[in-house]
Structures are given as structure tokens and as C-alpha cells.
Structure 1
């Protein structure tokens, strides 16, 4: 057995090191950040459509009898339209890798959660789904440390 064949299976001798990226937490966080950007973009666009529906036709959503947060549906429509545009733009920024987008994304996801909680009586199922999306976005953006790493 030659010395070349004796060392073939050992690391550092003619073979590149193999890394299992499936268990790398930073790879999961990076993928989560990408998915968070897509979710923000889509959720923002859906918010824009909900806002347009609330503004254009005041009877699209069922009126709630005596609700603590008394805005008319046109006001809710404007809130959803403006917030949806800003959330979609931030999602686009996250997908483009803009430095400002992560922090703004966390703040807007939190604001979106509060807004959907207040909107809960009008569209309960979608509000709960949107709150879950917001929680995932916050988690994904807060756990991605790819900018803070200095090593290879």
C-alpha cells in the first residue's frame, strides 16, 4: 500500500472537506430571511388589495356592531393600503439585500400584527394567518446573523 493510498481517505490529503449545510443554523436563518421577504411582499400586496376593497366599496366587509376600535371601513381601507404598500416595499428591500430592510421589516411586522389584531372581527381567519406570518417574519429577520459573521 503506497503512502498516497494510505492517506486518501484522511481529511486534508487531496480531498476537499465536505460540509453538511443541512444542519447549519445560519443556512436555515438565511433561507428564512429570503422566505420572510417573499411573505412580506405577498402579505403587503394582499393588504393593498384589502385596502382598495375597503375604500372602494364600504360594504365589502361585514360591519361589526359595537366594536371598541370604531373606524369606518374606508379608514381601515386606507390603513391597510398604506401599510400594505410599505410592507411590500420592505419585503422587496429584504429580497434585494438592503441594509435598512431587516430592522424596518421587524418593526413593520410588529405593526402589522397589531393592525391585524385590531382588524380581527372583520376577517378573523385571515387576521390569524397574517399574525402568524408576522411572527415568522420577526423570527426570521431576528435570527439571521449573516451580516455579523466575519469567518468563512
Structure 2
């Protein structure tokens, strides 16, 4: 009888409730990834459809074709938005992919800085916030199936 009680206690101790901060951070990161991806896709469409929308400063070290950057932003933005949708599932692989896309987006925005500097800085700041939020979870906040303990939505 005592073995059954201790086994049930150890099972309840191992399953910790999900931290509100971890779930809130993941929901924030997923929402921001979808928004950042959509903004970046629209930015790419603007560069593809009208090359003169972005003006390049002449004294920058590197200079790229705006249409090429438009396609890069369109593809990367679409993939980042899809990755943000998968982060809502709460799986570890989705968060890892989300962190990868946020890092890649920050690098692309840094290189895009000569074309639209204030927007690029804002997007880099948002990417850093997404990376921080996706790294916030702790190991005890994960269920056996890899998702959050009580699901993303309470």
C-alpha cells in the first residue's frame, strides 16, 4: 500500500504545472513571429512591385539589388509566419525552428539597414524579444508528448 502511495506521489511531483511566464512568452513569441513574418512579406512585396520605394544611401559598404532583397524578404517572411504558427503547438522543435528564423531575420534586417534603417532596427529589436521569449521555458514545463503541460490555451 505504501508503495502505491509513494509511486503516485512521485508521479505527481514529476509533472510540474506549466509556468505562466513560459506559456505567455511562447504565445507572445508565436504572435510576434506571425506579425514579423507578415510585415517582412509585405516589405518584400513592396520591393518586388516597386523598386523605387526603397532609396539606397550611397556611402554604404555593400549594395544589393532591391528586387533580390524583395524576394528574400517575401520567402523568409512567409516561412517565419508559418514557423510562428507552429510555435503555437508548444513543441520543442517548433521553438528551435522559431529561434533559427528569428536569428536569420535579424541578420537579414541588419544587411537591409541601408534601405530602411529605422524599420530594420525595430525588426531586429522584435527578433531579439522573440528569441528571448522562445528561450524562456524551463525543462519541467514540457509534457510527455513535447507540448505544454495544460495546452497553449487554458
TM over 0.5: yes
* Separation of aligned partners in 2, 1:113 and 1:25: 29
Cα deviation 1:72-106 (Å, max 9, x = unaligned): 00011011001001100000111233442100001
Q: Work out whether 1:147 is the aligned partner of 2:142.
A: yes
* Separation of aligned partners in 2, 1:50 and 1:142: 27
* CA-based RMSD: 2.2
Q: Work out whether 1:138 is the aligned partner of 2:131.
A: yes
- Which consecutive segments of 4 or more residues in structure 1 shift more than 4 A? none
TM-score (norm. length: structure 2): 0.75
Q: Work out whether 1:75 is the aligned partner of 2:42.
A: no
Q: Which structure 1 residue ranges, 5 or more long, are not aligned?
A: 1-23
- Structure with max Cα Rg: 1
Aligned length: 128
User: Is this contact kept in 1: 2:26–2:90, CA < 8 A?
Assistant: no
The corresponding residue for 1:102 is: 95
TM-score (norm. length: structure 1): 0.76
Q: Which structure 2 residue ranges, 5 or more long, are not aligned?
A: 1-16
